[in-house]
């Protein structure tokens, strides 16, 4: 960097320097400020329960800035994350607008357990998905990949951790208004490669059994060899996508604030399918005196998904020599193909759009994620206490209705409807004690944590047939005949879980050359059996910043060369709640001449159900060359998972009793074998 100074009295030169010179040149009114002192700005990485200079990180951590995410207009920020970080596989498992994407950090660890990474929003474990967060609100995303980095989050971080840091105001900043928007049209990139009419007609002619002159399949009443119908053109359509974000941020000498509103809507290429989201975010930080600071963050969103049950599967199976139009140009409702063997309801863009009240399939979701914190400086220098409180609520209501004859070859096919809802209640309480001091060349950062977390989930679903009128849709299933209303026991769900944790971590750096991070964490899970609920696991990582050694000072081409090595253990408790108690399933059966309802053991109790473990080794090299024009990391890791959480079938000879719900007696029951 070029440096120079101006005399205080030279106002013209000072004005020139402050307004016209490029930002890469530093200028000052005092010579000693520029020559005698140089403040080096280090890139800071969020590592969980604190931050660390990037050159001092010993674990495997990847960072993506919010500006980079906003370069890709998308409904879900995971789409913008694709391909940006090594070892993070993000795949699209559904083409529906607003659908969550699958994230795997360094592969799949568990066979049947949960493999999703933990999401931490502004320091608090997040029960929502990344799709609930607007890209305009994100400052950075840090991904913890190896056990030495994720161990601080215990069993919740067994599959990696994604730390999301949102934008906040700055102290002393005047109110700043921002508005970001984009609008675009989505078009079909490529159709599925299907046979056209002439090719399909030749294929059908070839399908003639040996020694026979009659083809195996003849044309149906709606087929003609001279017809060539492109069903995909009749189905797919261009789709609009738009986003609007408005925000205001600022602060005083004692605090800061950030408030934002966002709206997003995306229509699908598939007819009547869309996703719409409204979101509100607020963040407030306030300093009280010199010892106490507190803050509050809330993320609230409401979303609507339409046309969830529509898909192009049936369209791809249509005969290209079938004619979808009547002689008057109207669309046919059904068509007969393959000599009358196949009777098919016709899906087209125009046909679906004209259904109106005869078809609906939607999900409406509301979520509120709220974080509060209080932080106090204790009398010992460098010692702080922090309390984090997370209170989250999420609810989803879904409904579907299919009118008489819709999607059915029978024009009098009965109408059907269903309605479901679920709620998630989540809270977390974290007590943190942090000690951060520098003694000459020695830098120490120590963190102690005690936390408690609880989850409650409820869900229900009911369905009905023969809904009296289209305008009822799914809103009043009780109007259907009582015999056509179905409430299945397996569709009514309720569970509660809890997690207690204690953690200690120490990070030590000597002379910005040698780094050590050691972590010890203990988790106790209510999901596991008594005697196996608690587990304690360690993690250790080392780093050597070769760049800061004296023998490297004259090698100008190398700006960064750091070696890292880490070892750690994580554990997974991702089994269904109450799995240790076993499970009963309701079933009807004949008790003599009467119909009865009973229950049988569908899953045996397991008093030994414990943790699934993974041990990870990680070795890495970070480098920066030619004034950091070329930077990167090379890593080798190995993960070994054992004591897998998976179901095991019992021998068919295993017998359990069947208990009658009506009489409630055990003595008259019949034995029943269940695997």
Give the pLDDT confidence of 411-459 residue by residue, as tens digits: 999 999 999 999 999 999 999 999 999 999 999 999 999 999 999 999 9
DSSP SS3 for 76:
coil
Asked whether the beta carbons of 47 and 61 are under 8 A apart, the reply is yes
Buried b (16+ CB within 10 A) or exposed e, 137-152: bbebbbbbbbbbbbbb
Say how far apart CA 446 and CA 468 lie, in whole Å: 67
Q: For residues 417 and 399, is the Cβ–Cβ distance under 8 A?
A: yes
Task: For residue 345, name the pLDDT band (cuts at 50, 70, 90).
Answer: very high
Predicted confidence band at 666 (pLDDT cuts at 50, 70, 90)?
very low
Tell me, yes or no, if the pTM score tops 0.75. yes
Q: Please, is 307 exposed, middle or buried when counting C-beta atoms within 10 Å of its C-beta (0-12, 13-18, 19+)? A: buried
The angle subtended at Cα 340 by Cα 339 and Cα 341, nearest 5°, is 95
Query: In Å, what is the CA distance from 223 to each residue of 197, 233, 266, 335, 339?
Result: 10, 18, 37, 9, 9
Are residues 107 and 150 in contact, defined by beta-carbon separation less than 8 angstroms?
Answer: no
Burial, 490: exposed, middle or buried (Cβ in 10 Å; 0-12, 13-18, 19+)?
exposed
Can you tell me which residue has the tokens 């009780």?
Answer: 478
pLDDT value for 125:
84
Report how far apart the first and last C-alpha atoms of the chain are (Å, whole number). Answer: 74
Please give the mean pLDDT across all residues of the chain: 83
pLDDT confidence of 655, banded at 50, 70, 90?
low
Predicted confidence at residue 39, as pLDDT, reads 39
């Amino acid at each position: 960097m070029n440096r120079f100074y101006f005399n205080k009295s030279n106002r013209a030169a000072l004005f020139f320097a402050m307004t016209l010179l490029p930002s890469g040149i530093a200028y000052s009114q005092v010579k000693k400020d520029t020559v005698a002192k140089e403040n080096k700005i280090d890139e800071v990485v969020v590592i969980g329960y604190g931050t660390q200079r990037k050159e001092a990180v010993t674990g495997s951590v990847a960072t993506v800035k919010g500006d980079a995410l906003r370069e890709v207009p998308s409904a879900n920020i995971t789409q913008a994350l694709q391909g940006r970080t090594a070892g993070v596989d993000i795949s699209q498992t559904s083409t529906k607008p607003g659908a969550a994407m699958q994230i795997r950090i360094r592969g799949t660890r568990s066979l049947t357990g949960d493999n999703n990474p933990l999401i931490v929003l502004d320091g608090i474990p997040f029960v929502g998905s990344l799709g609930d967060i607007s890209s305009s609100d994100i400052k950075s995303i840090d991904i913890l990949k190896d056990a030495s980095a994720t161990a601080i989050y215990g069993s919740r971080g067994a599959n990696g951790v994604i730390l999301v840091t949102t934008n906040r105001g700055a102290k002393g900043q005047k109110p700043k208004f921002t508005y970001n928007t984009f609008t675009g049209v989505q078009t079909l990139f490529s159709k599925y490669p299907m046979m056209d009419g002439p090719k399909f007609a030749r294929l059908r002619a070839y399908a003639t059994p040996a020694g026979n002159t009659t083809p195996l399949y003849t044309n149906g009443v709606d087929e003609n060899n001279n017809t060539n119908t492109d069903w995909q053109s009749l189905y797919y359509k261009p789709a609009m996508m738009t986003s609007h974000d408005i925000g205001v941020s600022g602060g005083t000498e004692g605090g800061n604030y950030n408030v934002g509103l966002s709206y997003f809507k995306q229509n699908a290429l598939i007819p009547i399918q869309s996703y719409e989201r409204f979101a509100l975010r607020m963040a407030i930080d306030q300093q009280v005196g010199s010892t106490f600071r507190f803050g509050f963050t809330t993320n609230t969103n409401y979303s609507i998904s339409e046309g969830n049950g529509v898909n192009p599967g049936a369209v791809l199976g249509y005969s290209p020599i079938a004619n979808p139009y009547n002689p008057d140009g109207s669309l046919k409702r059904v068509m007969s193909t393959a000599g009358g063997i196949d009777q098919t309801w016709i899906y087209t863009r125009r046909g679906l759009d004209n259904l109106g009240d005869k078809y609906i399939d939607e999900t409406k979701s509301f979520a509120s994620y709220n974080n509060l914190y209080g932080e106090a400086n204790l009398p010992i220098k460098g010692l702080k206490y922090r309390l984090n409180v997370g209170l989250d609520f999420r609810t989803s209501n879904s409904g579907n209705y299919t009118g008489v004859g819709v999607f059915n070859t029978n024009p009098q096919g009965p109408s059907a409807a269903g309605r479901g809802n679920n709620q998630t209640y989540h809270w977390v309480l974290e007590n943190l004690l942090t000690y951060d001091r520098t003694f000459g060349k020695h830098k120490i950062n120590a963190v102690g944590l005690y936390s408690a977390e609880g989850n409650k989930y409820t869900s229900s679903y009911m369905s009905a047939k023969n809904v009296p009128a289209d305008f009822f849709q799914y809103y009043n299933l009780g109007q259907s005949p009582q015999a056509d209303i179905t409430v299945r026991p397996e569709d009514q769900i309720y569970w509660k879980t809890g997690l207690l944790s204690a953690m200690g971590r120490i990070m030590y750096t000597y002379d910005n050359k040698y780094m050590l991070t050691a972590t010890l964490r203990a988790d106790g899970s209510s999901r596991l059996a008594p005697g196996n609920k608690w587990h304690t696991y360690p993690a250790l990582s080392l780093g050597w910043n070769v760049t800061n050694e004296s023998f490297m000072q004259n090698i100008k081409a190398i700006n960064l060369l750091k070696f890292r090595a880490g070892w750690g253990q994580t554990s997974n408790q991702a089994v269904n709640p109450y799995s240790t108690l076993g499970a009963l399933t309701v079933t009807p059966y004949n008790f003599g001449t009467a119909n009865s309802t009973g229950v049988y053991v569908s899953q045996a109790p397991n008093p030994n159900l414990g943790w699934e473990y993974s041990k990870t080794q990680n070795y890495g090299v970070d480098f920066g060359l030619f004034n950091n024009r070329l930077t990167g990391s090379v890593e080798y890791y190995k993960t070994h998972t054992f004591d897998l959480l998976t179901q095991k079938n019992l021998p068919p000879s295993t017998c359990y009793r069947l208990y009658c719900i009506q009489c409630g007696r055990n003595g008259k029951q019949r034995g029943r074998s269940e695997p």
